[in-house]
Amino acid sequence: MSKNINIHVHHLTRVEGHGNIVVNVTDGTIEKCEWQVPEAPRFFEAMVRGRRWDDIQTIVSRICGICSITHSLASTKAVEDALDIEVSEQADTLRILMHYSEQLQSHVLHVGYLVAPDLFTAPSVVPLVPKAPDAVKTIIRAHRVANQWSDLLAGRTTHPTTLKPGGLTKIPTEKELRQLQETLKATVNDLVTICEVVLSVADKLPNFTRDTEYISLKQDNPPTYTFYHGDITSTDCNGDGPVHIRDWEKVANEYVSPQSTAKWTRWHRDAYAVGALARFNNNADLLSPLGKKVADMFGLKKGNCNPFMNNIAQLVECAHVVETSIEMIDRLLTNGLKEEKISVTPKAGRGSGCVEAPRGILFHTYEFDKNGDCVAANICIPTNQNHANIQKDFEAFVPQFMDRGQDDLRHGMEMLVRSYDPCISCSTHMLNVEFVK
């Protein structure tokens, strides 16, 4: 047994914060075991104050480049809730279709570019190309389809241009939807291939379980494996009714931890998890047939408390969103697409919007004055909701895995963080270079 361990994984620059992993073990005794998030606080909520109701989405879509559709949808729903704006069934369906494109984009990117290198023992996806060229090309093909899908529905891959409270400013043509449907049908085979590749190395995912509370959306009417509608539920609810999204602050119970500048959250316990595994644990029986088939491939069952299986739940959801979207496009084409006018009269009000980001449940609340100018905002992102849970996982993981030595332990803890698909440093991507020629 390694009696002394000293892990300090620090990734902090001025504006691009990352989580730090700190473990000190002396003579076999754990003295320190911390997940620290020293990210500079962000002030996006202050930025939207004073802005008009129809400006909010364009601003908050910049909070994150990977979840920009999700932030846009959450804010748009919140504005619609505050201003009592109705949305047509067609616009609602097209938005869900748009949202699914981001789920596929993000999940494929996460499993393919960030998790696969761990499973294939490569430092990143770039050196993986010569090692497993066909697998990488299949992943990139699926990711490209997802991006093109977002382009069609959202106007561009990142930072949507078609969303507006009340509906959509541009809708696809029936021909474009038919083409998308054909592309998605062709992508099913690629998804199955990706699942088979991951299955072949799935034994590299640590066998680690810690009893955990999982929180996600739940939709009963009609019963749906939901990312967009519904109320908030938890695996700890024990028959209590779901909580309305306007009451999300009673679920998140945000608080400040001394080891983090990001706020932490807790509900029934001292921590909870959100994300694909949370959605799976609350809604698995509502998955599409292919989603269920992928879960069966990996032996993933409701009630799973292995955080590393979040990666597998993401694959399950890739299959689900693609298969479900093929059906949704059928419905849209059967009903026929029509141009719809958006008409909004600003008024005072407060409203909330909640959608599932690929990495977990996301809450937005805004308050507007009688002119429709924003006077207050509150946003709670999924990664902040996972920080406390990562800490609790660390506290259970280290004693179980410290026998394997410092390097393996550090790698296991890094994999654990990655499995949550965190969104820590998403608002800046600047270059940092030195000239060599």
List contacts with another protein (CB under 8 A).
9, 11, 13-16, 18-19, 42-44, 46-47, 59, 62-66, 68, 106, 109-110, 113-114, 117, 123-126, 129-130, 136-137, 140, 143-144, 147-148, 156-159, 414, 417-418, 421-437
DSSP H stretches of helix in 201-305: 248-252, 276-283, 289-297
166 vs 382, which CB is nearer to another protein? Answer: 382
Smallest gap, in angstroms, from Cβ of residue 425 to another protein? Answer: 5
Rounded distance between C-alpha atoms, residue 264 and residue 252, angstroms: 8
- Nearer to another protein by Cβ, of 154 and 319: the residue is 154
Question: Which residues neighbour 288 within 8 Å (Cβ) at sequence distance 6 or greater?
Answer: 225, 319, 320, 323, 324
Query: Does the bond joining 222 to the residue before it have cis omega, within 30 degrees of 0?
Result: yes
Q: How far is the CB of 247 from another protein (least distance, A)?
A: 29
Q: Which is nearer to another protein, 234 or 383 (by Cβ)?
A: 383
Q: Which amino acid is at 23?
A: V
| 3-class SS of residue 186 | helix
**Nearest residue (CB) to another protein, 173 versus 428:** 428
- The least CB distance from residue 41 to another protein, in Å, is 9
> Least distance from C-beta 383 to another protein, angstroms?
8
**C-alpha–C-alpha distance, residues 94 and 332, integer Å:** 8
What's the closest the beta carbon of residue 136 comes to another protein, in angstroms? 8
Q: How near is the Cβ of 9 to another protein at its closest, in Å?
A: 8
Query: Shortest gap between Cβ of 426 and another protein (angstroms)?
Result: 4
Q: What is the distance between the terminal CA atoms of the chain, rounded to a whole angstrom?
A: 49
User: Measured from the CB atom, is 4 or 428 closer to another protein?
Assistant: 428
DSSP notation for 289-347: HHHHHHHHHTT--TT---GGGHHHHHHHHHHHHHHHHHHHHHHHHHH------------
C-beta of 99: minimal distance to another protein in Å? 17
Centroid of chain to Cα 212 = 18
197 vs 297, beta carbon nearer another protein: 197
CA torsion through residues 408, 413, 416, 420, sign: negative
Q: Please enumerate in sequence order all residues whose Cβ is within 8 A of that of 35, keeping only pairs 6 or more positions apart, or say none.
A: 19, 20, 21, 259, 387, 390, 391, 394, 417
Report in angstroms how near the CB of residue 157 gets to another protein at its nearest.
5
**What are the Cα distances from residue 232, in Å, to 224, 307, 361?**
13, 20, 9
Nearer to another protein, 167 or 422 (CB): 422
The minimum distance between CB 222 and another protein, in angstroms, equals 32
What is the rounded distance in angstroms from the CA atom of residue 4 to the CA atom of residue 2?
6
* Closer residue to another protein, CB minimum distance, 83 or 184: 184
Please check whether residue 408 is in contact with residue 118, taking contact to mean a CB–CB distance below 8 angstroms: no
Q: Based on CB atoms, which residue is closest to another protein, 125 or 321?
A: 125
Question: Measuring CA to CA, how many Å separate 244 from each of 216, 229, 272?
Answer: 12, 11, 18
For another protein, which is the closer residue by CB, 147 or 325? 147
| Distance of alpha carbon 228 from alpha carbon 135, whole angstroms | 31
Number of other residues whose CB lies within 10 A of the CB of residue 204 = 14
